[in-house]
Structure 1
Amino acid sequence: MVGLVAAGALLGSAVAPAPAARADTDPPPITAIADMLQQTMDGLKFQEVIDTDPPTTATAVRALKANSVDKDAKTPEQRAKTYAAAAGNQPISQQPQVDATVIELDANNRPVSAGTVLMSPQYPHGKIIPLDKNFHTSDVRWRQWDDSGWYTNHAQGTIDVVPGRENASTDFMLPYPASVLKLMINFGVLRLVDKGVISLDDTYAYNPTTVSSLCGGATSDTIRNYVDASLTWSSNGASCALLKMLWDHDAVNDLNQTFQNLGLETLQVKETNPANGGHWSNPVTMSSIDTAKLLALINGAPGTVWTASNGNAVTADVLSPSSREFFKKELGDQGMNDVLSTTNWCGADYPAPGIPAVEPQRWIAADGTVTVDGAAYQHDVRPCNANAEVTFAHKTGLVSNSGSDAGIVKSLPGKNGRNYIIAVFSNLGDQYQDPNRPPTAPGAHPVAYSEKYAQLGLAIDKYEASFGGAAAANRR
């Protein structure tokens, strides 16, 4: 189904004439990539997943609401026990929330075309959100995620993320970003580096005055090592340390204001705990379009990349060239290629192949298997690395009701010209599984995400392989 949808979109793009120049007063266009993204998401039938732990009583709903903070506190071992013990297994109660964006880049890394699609019970086939020339929309009423409200309020949020959107034509509850929020934390850290407030090689003593299960106890390390652990294997402890350091320097409110100044209005690090850097809860918000635009700035591009709604000319100089390169290197060393890319499961019958990304050598043992943070994937990735076509500098996220992945895709030398950014957020965390998911082998890292993420990633990558890079300029 996905292949047919993608092929149809490819054919349509191949014969379409180049769009004419449009006036600022013209409505935003529906781009080819947006159309392809919507068709592919609809064809994947996200609603066919099963719910392993649906709330069946009012008490269960109250418990779900009460547990809506520090959601990343579960260990892989705890998750594995949850999978083994899951007995609820029933079809998901309604269409999942999915928020997906692809931004196509030219040869100079400038965004030239983008597509954003929102899927929910209100938009079961996926709704294309037209973006203006600044890759922005004012016609979505973004709502904060609500764990229990997704079940009890027909997936409609009640807390506005961006004020003044009461008359927007689209009302959408943003999925919780899970560990993709670490992009925002590390962006804030590197802003402090660029200001000369701290250095990457400074040692930071993390001494929380209250201890949370998410963050753990006191530690001490260089900021460089904390950033590496936060981004490459998603250490919660390291990320809490970095966030507490931002609080120590009174930099969190400034970070949120910086996102507003950049026109990334849904990116908000709110209501976290200055005492320990924890309390990651629903007021921490990200949309796929703003996350993809943040990655475009991290990636770097010349001149004004877009103009914010407040009139600010936004450039990649929001980070220094050295900070951008360091950020990209860390994202490129991502060990968890198991969401939109599934290289860690190389050769497996399940999950499906995703973006054909190379696995960084630092995680690969002599037998070709990958171990990240003590968790072994038990698959030889060398054949997939030999056939890899792209690098994928990205950050993943996972909690029970959130699965996410966002990053920068670039072709390896000699491969077809990909140069794009993809960001996907959904409520399909590891509570929701595919009916065909096999049991986890003893001692192996469990398959935590629906393979529909990987199928989406592969469909987008095949499309971009045929019409990627500078050719995207003709499809805006």
Structure 2
Amino acid sequence: MRTNRHLLAGLTALTVTIGVLVAPSAASAKQSHLDEFLRRTLDGLAFEEVLDLAPPATAAARAAVVTTDKEELATVRRAAAPAPIVQQPQIDATVLELDPDGRITGSATVLMSPQYPDGVIVDVDRNLRTEDVRWREWDDAGWYANAAQGTVDIVPGREDASLDFMSPYPASVLKLMVAFGVLRLVDQGVADLDETYAYRPTEPSTLCGPDFDDTLRGYLDRMITVSSNEAGCALIKFLWDHDAVDGLNQTFQDLGLETLRLRNTRPSNGGRWTNEITMTSLDTAKLLAIINGGPGTLWTTPDGHRVTRNELSHASREFFAATLRQQGYNWMLSTPNFCGRDYPAAGIPQKVAPRWIAEDGTITLGTDAFGEDVRPCNRAAEVTFAHKTGWVPNSGADSGIVHSLPGEDGRHYIISVFSNLGDQYADPNRPPTPEGTVPVQYTEKFAQLGAIIDRYQEHRR
């Protein structure tokens, strides 16, 4: 059993050493060092040490794991005693390095799975594209029963790829795709952020909720900042009402974001969020690069299309990024909502949006009370983190854009992580949840990852 606290200290020291010794002049050199650093960091964090809080005890139970309407099952638990996770978890992580203007200067993508327990670097070309991976849809039962070997291809024609990887379900990070689709309609003059949309589902859904009226601006804010599933359903139905879902999926293909697919949702209510909805860390990071808005060509697609920030208007990009900076759930790669606790570890040192902070310094989001005074962490914050988290029992995800606060060392990067480690999995050292507060939903290894990558970027400058 490895000791993670000692490992974390060693990796942090390695961050400083590499940052001092490596000159960041050539993007190709930066990528090669970042690749291996990310792989070694993920391997060293020993994600295989987590406990499964609800392991299916028999082959029949493993085969019966539900695979549809995943968000409706976010609080469902099977009755079983915790046990060590049965195999190496699925991890899909990307870091894009940016210059101060937002140009992409380096990248790294690493996958971990039972097939790649030490992590494997994905070969990504100068246009941030890879044909090296046969991406597969997530399969809840198959992860247990089929040794995490997926059976349904996300991108066709990759049978000869050297890597084969079952992509974790994105959970609520899928709302980035929804927001992008709505803002494209705004840019096209089809919709206005301040128009009121009357959500009138014609089919009931536990996920989606009842009738509701709000402006598109209001739906987008709630969908991103407090991860409202009801607002997400409303906006997906809005896209269906405007015959825009198929067009959005085609747009992702046209932009070279081949693994981004908002598929098989219900036109009647915007629900049915299943494993056919797919995202990978690399394509999600590229989508965030558009939102971040660097100048010039961000990448060129295989058919010659030069992708730029103008895929969204300046106003839409500013609104999107500002909304992501208002994120309320800062508890995976960044953990200031748990400020001051010994557990979980401190992650990316971000500043929490003031709108969530009560007079006593605590944060409450709906029924989720965090209970800690976050003001000391805000005073010590070094960066903004414009991001979206996602969680269900077997999915934990966090993707966002990091920028240094004024006066801090310059960090400009995008980090995107998808995994099957949702709230069904926990660290053996997780303490009891303080009474009246929300449980820690993720292994603290993600926060350790965020902190290590952030320090690496700090010392690269």
TM-score by length of 2: 0.96
Cα displacement (A) at 1:8: 2.6
Q: Work out which of the residue numbers 273, 295, 313 in structure 1 matches 2:266.
A: 273
Separation (CA, whole Å) in 1 of partners of 2:323 and 2:112? 31
Which residue, out of 391, 394, 403, partners 1:401?
394
Q: Deviations over 1:226-260 (max 9, x none)?
A: 00000000000000000001011110010011001
Counterpart contact for 2:332–2:444, Cα < 8 Å: yes
Distance 1:203 1:233 in 2: 20
One-letter amino acid matched to 2:420? N
* CA gap 1:53/1:255 in 2 versus in 1, 3 angstroms: same
Aligned counterparts, 1:28-177, within 5 A: 31-64=32-65, 67-74=66-73, 78=75, 82=77, 87-177=80-170
Contact in 1 for aligned 2:63/2:142 (Cα 8 Å): no
Q: Quote the Cα distance in structure 2 between the aligned partners of 1:395 and 1:428.
A: 16
Q: In 2, distance between residues paired with 1:71 and 1:441?
A: 28
Deviation sequence 1:119-165 (CA, Å, 0-9, x none): 00010011011211111111110011000000111101000000110
State the secondary structure of the residue aligned to 2:17. helix
Pairwise CA distance, 1:10: 4.1
Given that 2:19 and 2:456 are in contact with CA atoms closer than 8 Å, whether structure 1 keeps it comes out as no
**What's the counterpart of residue 4 of structure 2?**
none
Q: Which amino acid aligns with 2:276?
A: P
Tell me how many residue pairs correspond in the alignment: 455
Deviation at 1:57, TM superposition (A): 2.3
Residue type at the aligned position of 1:352 = A
Alignment check: 8 A CA contact 1:9 1:32 kept: no
SS at match of 1:406: strand
Conservation of the 8 A alpha-carbon contact between 1:306 and 1:314: yes
Instruction: Give distance in 2, aligned partners of 1:413 and 1:21.
Output: 25
More displaced 10-residue stretch of structure 1: 259-268 or 441-450: 441-450
Q: Which of 340, 363, 367 is 1:374 aligned to?
A: 367
Q: From 191, 194, 206, give the equivalent of 1:201.
A: 194
- Matched residue type, 2:83: Q
Q: Does 1:438 align with 2:431?
A: yes
Deviation string, structure 1 residues 274-314 (Cα, Å, up to 9, x no partner): 11101000010000000000000001011111101221110
For residue 338 of structure 1, give the secondary structure of its aligned residue in structure 2: coil
Is the 8 Å Cα contact of residues 5 and 36 (structure 1) preserved in structure 2? Answer: no
- In the aligned structure 1, how far is the partner of 2:73 from the partner of 2:194? 30
1:31 counterpart SS class: helix
Counterpart amino acid of 1:440? T
Q: Distance in 1 between matches of 2:278 and 2:182?
A: 18
1:438 Cα deviation from its structure 2 partner: 1.2
1:233 to 226, 231, 234: 226
The answer to whether residue 423 in structure 2 is matched with residue 424 in structure 1 is: no
Deviation (angstroms), 1:20? 6.8
Quick one: structure 1 residues 126 and 6, their matched pair in 2 at CA, closer, same or farther if it must change by over 3 Å?
Answer: farther
Which shifted more, 86-95 or 174-183? 86-95
**Cα distance, 1:32 vs. partner?**
1.5
The Cα of 1:73 is off from its aligned counterpart by 2.3
Query: Structure 2: how far apart are the matches of 1:295 and 1:20?
Result: 23
Give the C-alpha shift of residue 29 in structure 1: 8.9
Between 434-443 and 320-329, the greater mean CA deviation after superposition: 434-443
Cα offset for 1:5? 2.6
RMSD of aligned C-alpha atoms? Answer: 1.6
Contact 1:3 1:459 in 2 (8 A): no
Describe the superposition over 1:354-386 as per-residue Cα deviations: whole angstroms up to 9, x where unpaired: 000011100000000011123110000010000
Matches of 1:58 and 1:463, distance apart in 2: 43
For residues 252 and 349 of structure 1, do their structure 2 counterparts lie closer, same or farther at Cα, with a shift above 3 Å needed? Answer: same
The answer to whether the Cα contact below 8 Å between 1:49 and 1:432 also exists between their aligned partners in 2 is: yes
**AA of the residue aligned to 1:69:** T
* Mapped partners of 1:226, 1:100: distance in 2: 29
- State the AA in 1 paired with 2:439: P
User: Counterparts of 1:20 and 1:436 in 2: how far apart (Å)?
Assistant: 42
Which of 17, 20, 39 lines up with 1:11 in the alignment? 17
Corresponding residue of 1:338: 331
Residue in 1 that maps onto 2:243: 250
CA contact (8 A) 1:210 1:276 kept: yes
State whether residues 41 and 449 of structure 2, in contact with CA within 8 Å, keep that contact through their aligned partners in structure 1: yes
Offset at 1:261?
Answer: 0.7
Instruction: Find the aligned partners of 1:7 and 1:131 in 2 and give their Cα distance.
Output: 27
Residue type of the alignment partner of 1:163: P
Q: What are the Cα deviations for residues 301-338 of structure 1, in whole angstroms up to 9, with x where unaligned?
A: 11111101221110110000000000001000000110
Return the alpha-carbon distance in structure 1 between the equivalents of residues 300 and 252 of structure 2: 13
User: How has the CA–CA distance of structure 1 residues 393 and 21 changed in structure 2, closer, same or farther, with 3 Å as cutoff?
Assistant: closer
Residue pair 2:369, 2:436 contacting (<8 A) in 1 also: yes
Distance in 2 between residues matched to 1:305 and 1:57, nearest whole Å: 49
TM-score by length of structure 1 reads 0.93
Judge conservation of contact 1:99–1:425 (CA < 8 Å) in 2: yes
Quote the sequence identity (%): 58
Q: How has the CA–CA distance of structure 1 residues 339 and 135 changed in structure 2, closer, same or farther, with 3 Å as cutoff?
A: same
Q: CA deviation at 1:18?
A: 6.4
Number of the residue aligned with 1:183: 176
**For residues 19 and 376 of structure 1, what CA distance do their matches in structure 2 show?**
45
State the one-letter code of the partner of 2:62: V
Mapping for residues 357-368 of structure 1, pairs under 5 Å: 357-368=350-361
* Distance in 2 (alpha carbons) for counterparts of 1:331 and 1:100: 19
2:132–2:161 CA contact under 8 A, matched in 1? yes
